[in-house]
Amino acid sequence: MQCATTRFQRISRGAMSIIAGSVAIGMIDNPRAAIPAALCAVLLLIGATTGWCPTNLLTFRARNRAKNPEGNEFGIPQAPERINL
């Protein structure tokens, strides 16, 4: 899945990664804030250069369901209607 498709979107993500990297460098004495800011900067930079969407990391289960719509993750088909015993 491509997230940043236009040139403007990629340039804006690159600028945001520079800002997030600057925040990470500015807060180097506080690792609780610097590490997440650096991680965001890296993900934004990767997204800006490749067009890849960093939120794809969070959608693994949705992609897994899309590959196997008939069944669950074990490959067992779901019951189409309620079963009464």
Give 2's strand partners.
Answer: 52
Residue 1 lies inside a defined structural domain of this protein: no
Task: Please report the beta strands in the chain, taking only residues with DSSP state E, as ranges in sequence order.
Answer: none
The DSSP output letter for 69 is S
Residue 83 lies inside a defined structural domain of this protein: no
Task: Give pLDDT, residue 76.
Answer: 65
Residue 39 lies inside a defined structural domain of this protein: yes
The count of structural domains within the chain is 1
Tokens of 14: 């690159």
Task: Give pLDDT, residue 13.
Answer: 86
Residues 6+ apart with CB under 8 A from 14: 44, 45, 48, 49
Cβ–Cβ under 8 Å, residues 3 and 53:
yes
Residue 64 lies inside a defined structural domain of this protein: no
Which pLDDT tens digits describe the chain residue by residue (85 residues)? 556 678 888 888 889 899 999 999 999 999 999 999 999 899 888 888 887 777 776 666 555 555 555 555 666 666 666 667 7
Residue 22, domain extent: 7-54
pTM: 0.61
Task: Give pLDDT, residue 61.
Answer: 57
